[in-house]
Amino acid sequence: MRTYDLTPLYRSTVGFDRLFSLLDSFGGVDGSAPTYPPYNIERTGENAYRISLAVAGFTEKEINVEVKENALVIRGEKETMETEEKGEVLYQGIAARAFERRFQLADHVEVTGASLENGLLHVDLVREIPEAMKPRQIPIGAGSGKGKAIEAKAQKAA
């Protein structure tokens, strides 16, 4: 895999440190990304998104969804249940292992809710741009470049 040196970009930009850190850590430490559990990211509206994770076999109590510092962290850990064995398991294809998925959220993206249905965890997100950051039209006034001159007379020294 190719690696890129982003050092020259650090010298000529201001305020993009977080972006470059994300690019540096994109491939992970060993270059492989986690694949469990599988997930989808879909756009449900102009400023609305949904992340769906396949978490078959997990209950609501075993899943933790947390947002902290522009990062969405979803953790799942199966509770060990000591019940009567109903039989010998010949093949176990349903994973019951613990997992942790991290998603970097853009600025002004907030989690609005999460639901678990039919083995899928749905996390709904919305991007709300503050009014001060939205584009606005500036009216052009006639003679706006000229200001009024203030005239004052010099007083004679006595």
28 and 39 assigned to the same domain: no
State the pLDDT at residue 122: 94
> Domain span at residue 64?
34-80+90-132
* CATH number of the domain that residue 97 is part of: 2.60.40.790
Q: Classify residue 41: in a domain, yes or no.
A: yes
State the pLDDT at residue 135: 80
State the pLDDT at residue 158: 58
Q: How far is CA 101 from each of CA 3, 38, 39, 65, 98, rounded to the nearest angstrom?
A: 24, 10, 10, 10, 10
28 and 38 assigned to the same domain: no
Q: Classify residue 95: in a domain, yes or no.
A: yes
47 and 105 assigned to the same domain: yes
Domain tally for the chain? 2
Q: Classify residue 20: in a domain, yes or no.
A: yes
State the pLDDT at residue 19: 58
68 and 102 assigned to the same domain: yes
49 and 96 assigned to the same domain: yes
Cα–Cα distance, 110 to 125 (Å, whole number): 6
118 and 70 assigned to the same domain: yes
State the pLDDT at residue 146: 57
According to DSSP, the residues that pair with 54 across neighbouring strands are: 120
Walk along the chain (158 residues) and give the pLDDT tens digit of each residue: 556 665 665 555 555 555 555 555 555 545 556 678 889 888 888 888 999 999 988 889 999 999 988 888 999 998 765 554 567 878 877 767 889 988 888 888 889 999 999 989 999 998 887 777 778 888 888 765 555 556 666 666 65
12 and 64 assigned to the same domain: no
Q: CB–CB of 134/121 below 8 Å?
A: no
56 and 72 assigned to the same domain: yes
State the pLDDT at residue 139: 86
22 and 69 assigned to the same domain: no
| Phi, psi for residue 155 in degrees, rounded to 5 | -90, 145
73 and 98 assigned to the same domain: yes
Q: Classify residue 141: in a domain, yes or no.
A: no
- Phi-psi category of 28—alpha, beta or left, where left has phi over 0 and alpha has psi -120 to 50? left
48 and 119 assigned to the same domain: yes
| Phi, psi for residue 129 in degrees, rounded to 5 | -85, 130
Q: Classify residue 153: in a domain, yes or no.
A: no
